Amino acid sequence: MNDIRLKDKHGNTVGHIKTDLTGRSRLTDKSGNTQGYYDPKTDRTIDKSGNTVARGNQLSNLLP
């Protein structure tokens, strides 16, 4: 599993993107709440409510 830490301009962690062995990525905020998913098989970014919000990987745009 791959884990990427997202930081703001001050170096504070604002979220994580974790990618599983199938390539699907999950975005969590700094509190660990899921904000969305990216599925490379469908090439879609999905928000926490299950709505498609973009084609391609746009996970970092889902952070509050």
The answer to whether residue 36 is domain-embedded is yes
The answer to whether residue 8 is domain-embedded is yes
Extended strands (E) in the chain: 2-7, 13-19, 25-29, 34-39, 44-47, 52-55
Please count the structural domains in the chain. Answer: 1
Supply the range of the domain harboring residue 33.
2-57
The answer to whether residue 29 is domain-embedded is yes
4 within 8 A of 16, measured Cβ to Cβ: yes
pLDDT in tens, 22-46: 999 999 999 999 999 999 999 999 9
CA 53 to CA 7: how far, in whole Å? 22
The answer to whether residue 34 is domain-embedded is yes
pLDDT in tens, 14-27: 999 999 999 999 99
The answer to whether residue 52 is domain-embedded is yes
The answer to whether residue 45 is domain-embedded is yes
The answer to whether residue 64 is domain-embedded is no
